[in-house]
Structure 1
Amino acid sequence: MDFKLTQEQLMLQDTAARMVRDAYGFEQREGFRQSEAGFSTAFMQQLGELGLCAVPFAEAYGGFAGSGVESMLVMTELGRGLCLEPYLHSVIFAGGLVNQLGSEEQKHSVLPRLGSAALQLAVALEEPQSHYCLNDVQTSATAVPGGWQLKGRKSVVVGGQSAGLILVSARTSHQARDEQGISLFLVDPQDPGVRRRDFATIDGRRACELFLEDTFVSHGSLLGEEGQALPALRYQQGRSIAAQCAEAQGSMEAACQLTLDYLKTRQQFGQPIGKFQALQHRMVEMYIELDQATSMTLLAACVADQQDSDERSRILAAAKFIVSRASRFVADQGIQLHGGIGLTWEYVLSHHAKHLLMVARQFGDDDHHLRAYTTLMQGYSA
């Protein structure tokens, strides 16, 4: 199998890498993190101007019709630079849902603005009790004259504090945890009855709790058919998992390089500590985990945009399991090999470690995906 990148893919990778390298020094990142938005709106705008936000979308909506591989190349560089912008949740996840479920009118209204970074989206699917189960939806949507009335609470809406529109899952029929009856709505956070409580995540990014208190949305805010959103939610979460694996790969590569450089320069007993065999073995183990995660990330990127199937779901579950475990291992070992400095907020490795621990739990932790993989393997014969 030929894994060589095309000339266009190499140019895309180089563009993303150069942007991150020029704009995302560690001190600059700290300034972005402490800003009101929690990220650099100028950098996000630059991503849009250079077409990186439009990569996954069709040319009809101002995009480049990129596949999971193109998304992987962009996400790897954003992960390497610890970029704070909600590209994953806005462009990949939310944009994918609009692209799959939206009417032509909705797609022409939303996707060009998303691709140019004139609009930021967020996805509100999780609830306090749901624990990774997309079908555990207690937020309700009641039909009223002219539209729907939403009531409920959504948790950990990454990027929701600054989003112009939020995609909200709500139950229009059936009981909690039923797979039928789940619908998806475009909600303007400035509408009456919408309240957000902002907070910082453990890795320095921003998210919010979303409270819907009899919030009215029009019929035109419904994405797709009423009560039939769950398959699309699962499919697009799979695409997001593949992209997140790439982001983790970039962060792990940076963490491994930082650790290796430290072992070469830190002196102990008159020589670099990297000369001690025990530390060399641990460094090799970090790179072994990174290599395994890189292989699964590439496989996940190759199947991310394929038609939904058990085989696709198995690969994505396996990739998330392996990358989650590798992320935790690289974070833990990087801190151990650095010693106390590895935990300090003023040193970039600690931010990579916190981000990798966050990645290992978003969209399902390794236990969740191991169970999913086991379930999908039952009755499977090669």
Structure 2
Amino acid sequence: MDFTYSDEQRMLKDMVDRVVADQYDFDAREKIVNSDTGFSADLWNQFAELGLLGVPFSEAAGGFDGGGAELMVVAEGFGRGLVVEPYLSSVVLSGTFIDAIADDARKAALIEPILSGETRYALACYEAAGRYDPHWIETTAEKSGDGYTLNGAKSVVLNGDTANKLIVIARSSGDIDSADGLSAFIVDADAEGVSRRGYPTIDGHRGAEITLANVTVGSDALLGEEGKAADALQYAIDRGIVALCAEASGAMEVACDLTLQYLKDRKQFGVPIGSFQALQHRMVDMRMALEKVRSLTLWAACSLDSPEIERRQRLSAAKAMVGKAGRKVAEEAIQLFGGMGMMDESSISHYAKRIVMIDHYLGDREYHMALLRDMTLAGQDVA
């Protein structure tokens, strides 16, 4: 199988790498992270002008019609620079959800402001009691007149504190952990009854706890058919997993490069510590962990259009490997850097934190290993 990039994919990679290299050095990133919004509006607009915000969307929505490979190219480039702009939350999760659930006319109207950078969405799905289960939804949507009334709470909503609009997954019918009965609503982030408590995460990104208390929305706020949002939700989460795994791959690559350079520069007993065989072996182990993640991520990215069982198995395998191999790279990098690796002034500490935290978004290693186990016990051999 040929895994080389096409000309278009190579151009896309070069563009992402150039933007990150030119405008996202470590000092610039630190200023962005410590700003009030936690991201750069100017850089976000530049992403829009370059067409990066349209990569995962269908042509019907005005997008680039990129597949898993194109999404991987962008996310891997962002991982190399530890980009903190809300690409995952607004474009990959929220935008592709809209693309999957809305009809052509409505998706074009809703996604165009995303493509232009004007509107930023956040997907308010996960709840504290359900942990990583996207179907465990206690938030309710009850019909009220010509619209609906929403009540509930959402946890760790990525970039939920700075989004203009929220896509709220609520239960309009069905059991508390059932995929049936899930509905999706577009809610203005500043609507009456919506309260948001934003906070920084340890990897430089931002999350929010969101409470909805008797939030009233019109019937036009409903996305798709009532009670039928589960398939579109899985569609968006699948693409989110690919983006996260690819971002981890990019961050792990830089972590390996930084560690190797440190081993060459740092001297002990008058010689570079990289000349010590034991450290060379550990460096090789880091590179092997990186290649495992990269290979499984590419496998998963190329499987987004595969039958459901194959797709779910490969995505879970990739995400589980990120949790295992990613932690290996992060911990080895810190160990080999020594005390320097623990300092905020050292970029390697930020790469390590991001790599470890990626494991905890959209299901950690234990969660995805359990999914693989359950599919195997059900007689569905892992492909």
Distance in 1, matches of 2:86 and 2:228, equals 27
2: distance between equivalents of 1:180 and 1:29? Answer: 42
Aligned: 1:224 with 2:214: no
In the other structure, the counterpart of 2:112 is 112
Kindly report which structure 2 residues correspond to 1:253-264, keeping only aligned pairs within 5 A, or say none: 253-264=253-264
SS in 2 for 1:157: coil
Residues 14-23 or 121-130, more deviating? 121-130
Stretches of 4+ aligned residues off by more than 4 angstroms? none
Contact 1:235 1:308 in 2 (8 A): no
CA deviations 1:47-77 (Å, max 9, x no partner) are 0000010111223332111111001000001
Q: Is the 8 A contact 1:139 1:152 kept in 2?
A: yes
User: What is residue 53 of structure 1 aligned with on the other side?
Assistant: 53
Please say if 1:21 is aligned against 2:17: no
Deviation at 1:307, TM superposition (A): 4.9
C-alpha contact 2:61 2:99 (8 A) present in aligned 1: no
5 Å-filtered alignment, 1:293-304, equals 293-304=293-304
Q: Is the 8 A contact 2:98 2:107 kept in 1?
A: yes
Q: Which residue of 2 aligns with 1:287?
A: 287
1:6-55 residue CA offsets vs partner (Å, 9 max, x unmatched): 11110000000000000101110011011111011111110000001011
1:1-382 alignment to 2 at 5 Å?
1-304=1-304, 306-378=305-377, 379-380=379-380
Amino acid of the structure 2 residue aligned with 1:271: V
Separation in structure 2 between the aligned mates of residue 4 and residue 281 of structure 1, nearest angstrom: 29
Quick one: distance in 2 between partners of 1:52 and 1:65? 11
Distance 2:325 2:23 in 1: 28
Q: Comparing 307-316 with 18-27, which one deviates more in the overlay?
A: 307-316
CA RMSD of aligned residues (A): 1.2
Structure 1 CA distance for aligned equivalents of residues 213 and 8 of structure 2: 48
- Cα deviation, residue 308, structure 1: 4.8
> Residue type matched to 1:169 in 2?
I
Q: Percent identity?
A: 44
Instruction: State the one-letter code of the partner of 1:142.
Output: E
Task: Report if aligned partners of 1:165, 1:187 keep a CA contact under 8 Å in 2.
Answer: yes
Deviation, structure 1 residue 188: 0.7
Looking at structure 2, the residues matched to 218 and 280 of structure 1 have their Cα atoms a distance apart, in angstroms, of: 62
Q: Indicate conservation of the 8 Å contact 2:330/2:351, yes or no.
A: yes
Cα distance, 1:353 vs. partner?
0.7
Q: Which whole-Å CA distance do the structure 1 matches of 2:175 and 2:372 have between them?
A: 26
CA shift for structure 1 position 86: 1.2
* Cα shift at 1:343: 0.8
Deviation for aligned residue 1:102: 1.4
Cα shift at 1:237 = 0.7
- The separation in 2 between residues aligned to 1:134 and 1:111, in whole angstroms, is 23
Secondary structure of 2:163's match? Answer: coil
Tell me the alpha carbon deviations over residues 76-99 of structure 1, each in whole angstroms, 9 at most, x when there is no partner: 010000000110121111111100
Using the size of structure 1 for normalisation, the TM-score is 0.97
2:155 match: secondary structure: strand
Aligned partner of 1:69: which letter? A
TM-score, normalised relative to structure 2 = 0.97
Give the distance between the partners of 1:102 and 1:170, measured in 2 at CA: 17
Q: Once the two structures are superposed, what CA deviation does each residue of 1:220-240 show, in whole Å capped at 9, x if it has no partner?
A: 111111111122212321111
DSSP-derived class of the 1:303 partner? coil
Alpha-carbon contact 1:103-1:223 (below 8 Å) kept? no
CA 1:145–1:105: 2 relative to 1, 3 Å: farther
Counterparts of 1:58 and 1:99, CA distance in 2: 7
